[in-house]
Structure 1
Amino acid sequence: MTSPITAEADLDHRKRPRRRGAALETAILEATLAELSEVGYARLSVERVAERAGASKASLYRRWPSKVELVMDAVYHVFPDSASPPDTGSLRGDLVAMMRAVAGQLAGPAGQALGGVLSDALGDQDKARQVRSYARGNSQASMREIVRRAVARGEVDPSAVTERRLETGHALLRYHFITRGVPIPDQVIDEIADEVMIPLLQPSNRA
């Protein structure tokens, strides 16, 4: 059984091996997600994150001056890699696999964090600007790669590909997440793929 003294020592970053650079950043982001899963966004404490990561508060504030920035980086840390979306060999398979991966993250600490950030940003222009600054185009990058493969396979006519059509699937996922919460059922994802995304990208298949 761990004594209170030992537990306190375990939380003291000064007693842990010193980490720097990417290793320290990863430890902090993972500690942020772990804290979010335990206490939620509203009760998230920079002090607790620092203790959990074995870091100093100063090292956190140098990288992330605000709670919003720390949490948004933690969210993007675990979201699917936009450069390598699923490759199942078919347009429908890729769309469904990508959206299920995103839905899985939204159902966990990352989604809880994102919901907290969005609520916090309502009515606060500074925080809203911080959130908007994290719009990195990851979802669009994933869609472009999926559609590029589909065009190469002859599944999609390049003339059907537009920016608005590429963003539709993720927009519908976000809408469901914001208005109905999680988990996002597989049926909803299948319907987004079959009733919206595929008809938009394969207009010649419509009756």
Structure 2
Amino acid sequence: MLSTPGTALLSVLHECDSSASGRFQAVILQGVIQPSTELLRKVVSQGVERGEARSDATSEPALDPILAMMMCHSRVCGSEWPDAYFAESIDQIMVPLLGPSGS
């Protein structure tokens, strides 16, 4: 929350009353979370088709931790995703989480 986007998000959240917070939540869900989840689901579906991911890897509980990690880094922490970090995240997090049994 120390980044510029994180500070802005905190400011908005602290200023919202209950009706405004509901509208704000709807904007975030419809404009950020749902499209991101669908894009991630499409990518993981390709892994399922190739046999690189479990058949249930496109479920919301399987995708939520990946989405949370991505949003934390890109929105709250304000960090870039260097290629090495991205590759390590796939190898250390996504493959064990989504890969077929025994991978």
TM-score (norm 1): 0.38
1:51-62 alignment runs, 5 A limit:
none
Over alpha carbons, which structure has the higher Rg?
1
Alignment partner, residue 25 of structure 2: 132
Q: Per-residue CA shift, 1:72-119, capped at 9, x if unaligned?
A: xxxxxxxxxxxxxxxxxxxxxxxxxxxxxxxxxxxxxxx96x545413
| Superposition deviation, residue 203 in structure 1 | 4.2
Do the aligned partners of 1:140 and 1:166 also contact (CA within 8 Å) in 2?
yes
Sort the Cα spacing of 1:128 and 1:192 in 2 relative to 1 into closer, same or farther, 3 A. farther
1:123 aligned to 2:14?
yes
Match of 1:156 among 33, 53, 59: 53
- 3-state SS of the aligned residue for 2:56? helix
Partner of 2:42: 145
> Counterpart in 2 of 1:34?
none
Matched-pair identity in %: 29
Deviation at 1:129, TM superposition (A): 2.8
Give distance in 2, aligned partners of 1:141 and 1:203: 21
Give 1:139 deviation, angstroms.
1.0
Number of matched residues? 94
1:85-96 → structure 2 map (5 Å cutoff)? none
> Under a length normalisation based on structure 2, what TM-score does the superposition of the two structures give?
0.68
Higher RCO (Cα < 8 Å, 6 or more apart): 2
Task: Give the corresponding residue for 2:79.
Answer: 182
Stretches of structure 2 that go unaligned for 5 or more consecutive residues are none
Q: CA RMSD in A?
A: 2.5
Which residue identity lines up with residue 49 of structure 2 in the other structure? Answer: A
**Alignment-derived partner of residue 166 in structure 1:** 63
